[in-house]
Structure 1
Amino acid sequence: MENIFPSHSPSPLSDANPSLHYLVPHTAYKVFINHRGKDTKQSLASSIYHNLDNRGVKVFLDKMSLQPGQYIPQALIFAIRSASVHVVILSENYAESEWCLDELLLIRETGAPIVPVFWKIRPSDVRMENKNGVYAKAFRKHKKVGKFDSRTLEKWKAALRWVSLLEGFISEGEQGEMVEKIIACGSIH
């Protein structure tokens, strides 16, 4: 698959086509939530989104923020690049998603603060220290399928290792308490 987040590709939305301007958000986002939908969209990601939104923070969560007619890759690129903080929710099935991994690469490039959240996993799982862990298995599957070249796989692994070494939040206990801790994080306000 072609990388949908090329770092130096021209935008498909240009001044040459003014009829498409309504498809581009007009203001930057404060927070971008990177997550694996099937693991966290209906729980943690949604709670973070609604808590921030209710406090007046402009936050991007794909299904809540995308508008009909928006070109999804371009909307994601804009949201990631414009956000001043990124909440990266690392969950059991995160490493299976090329979208999540490509977003993480772009997030890393921005240099903006990142708040990692380890949802029902440990940082060591993300670093693939356990060769039988879910992240290591996901990468073996990516390699076996052969859809991605070894360079892409290594970039993804390096980004995961890097984010796993950042101070973050590890899910322990009640979700509401964790959401409050994430929202209270100095980077978000």
Structure 2
Amino acid sequence: MGNILSSHSPSPLSDANPSFHYLVPHTAYKVFINHRGKDTKQSLVSSVYHNLDNRGVKVFLDKMCLRPGQYIPQALICAIRSASVHVVILSPNYAESEWCLDELLLICRTGAPIVPVFWEIRPSDVRMENKNGVYAKAFRKHNKVGKFDSRTLEKWKEALRWVSLLQGFISEGEQGEMVEKITACVARYNEMASRQTI
């Protein structure tokens, strides 16, 4: 992705202070699920998490894995960096969240495999080809609010474009079938990573 993802960005996870002494040690995870909670946590995300957990795959999901005393930004950074595969669930309200977008930047920097899931949205919407689409509107709102500089916004856009061009899963038909396909794909990546570390 070039240098666009290598610079500092004034966004949530970039402010994590490594000099803190954390009360709770961090755990290494095999899979990190990047998602917009209000869109997918109670449906798709929960199902994928439990399916992988039942297979013995250690998955990071904030509501299941964060513990009292953990500094949230640093816990997220550690989970992202330790994961051997990342699931990025792109949903209608995803681009509104600075946390989702910042996590995505870190995910892209790791070089680990990314499994994109387009949930009730198309890859072209993520690339913002439709100027009236929900992602384009979300970025116009970010720009209008003025909380983030133009460089940060461009890096977020580039990360979204990159992920939108990866082969992934598009929500069509029955959710249970889709969950099984996502789980099988992620489990294969996890097995490959495990063999490489032996």
The question of a shared fold, defined as TM-score above 0.5 by the shorter chain, is answered with yes
Structure 1 segment 110-149 matched on structure 2, within 5 A: 110-149=110-149
SS in 1 for 2:13: coil
Give unpaired runs (5+ residues) of structure 2: 1-8, 192-198
Contact persistence 2:12–2:98 (CA under 8 A):
no
Aligned twin of 1:166: 166
**Distance in 2 between residues matched to 1:124 and 1:24, nearest whole Å:** 40
| Matched residue type, 1:12 | S
Equivalence for 1:11:
18
The amino acid of 1:90's aligned partner reads L
Partner of 2:32 in structure 1? 32
Q: In structure 1, what is the equivalent of residue 150 of structure 2?
A: 150
Task: Map residues 78-117 of structure 1 onto 2, 5 A cutoff.
Answer: 78-117=78-117
The alignment's TM-score, normalised by the length of structure 2, stands at: 0.87
Report which stretch shifted further, 136-145 or 178-187: 178-187
Q: How many residues align?
A: 181
Letter of the structure 1 residue corresponding to residue 113 of structure 2 = P
Give the counterpart letter for 2:125 in structure 1.
D
Q: What is the CA-CA distance between 1:55 and the residue it aligns to?
A: 1.1
Which is helix-richer, 1 or 2? 2
Distance in 1 between residues matched to 2:26 and 2:55, nearest whole Å: 20
Deviation at 1:2, TM superposition (A): 3.8
AA at the equivalent of 2:108: R
> Structure 1 residue 10: deviation in Å?
5.7
1:71: Cα distance to partner? 0.5
Alignment check: 8 A CA contact 1:32 1:86 kept: yes
Alpha-carbon distance in 1 for matches of 2:128, 2:112: 25
SS of 1:142's equivalent?
A: helix
Query: Which structure 2 residues correspond to residues 59-78 of structure 1 after superposition, within 5 A?
Result: 59-78=59-78
Q: What RMSD, in angstroms, separates the aligned Cα atoms of the two structures?
A: 1.6
Alignment match, 2:178: 178
Q: Cα deviations across residues 117-172 of structure 1 (Å, max 9, x unaligned)?
A: 00010000000000000000000000001111100000000000000000000000
One-letter amino acid of the structure 1 residue matched with residue 172 of structure 2: E
The percentage of aligned residue pairs carrying the same residue is 80
User: Which amino acid is the alignment partner of residue 122 of structure 1?
Assistant: R
SS of the residue corresponding to residue 161 of structure 1 reads helix
Q: Which amino acid aligns with 2:77?
A: I
In the aligned structure 2, how far is the partner of 1:171 from the partner of 1:2? 33
Q: Mind listing any 5+ residue stretches in structure 1 that lack a counterpart? A: none
Checking the alignment, whether the CA contact within 8 Å between 1:5 and 1:73 is kept in structure 2 is yes
Structure of higher RCO (CA pairs closer than 8 Å, 6+ residues apart): 2
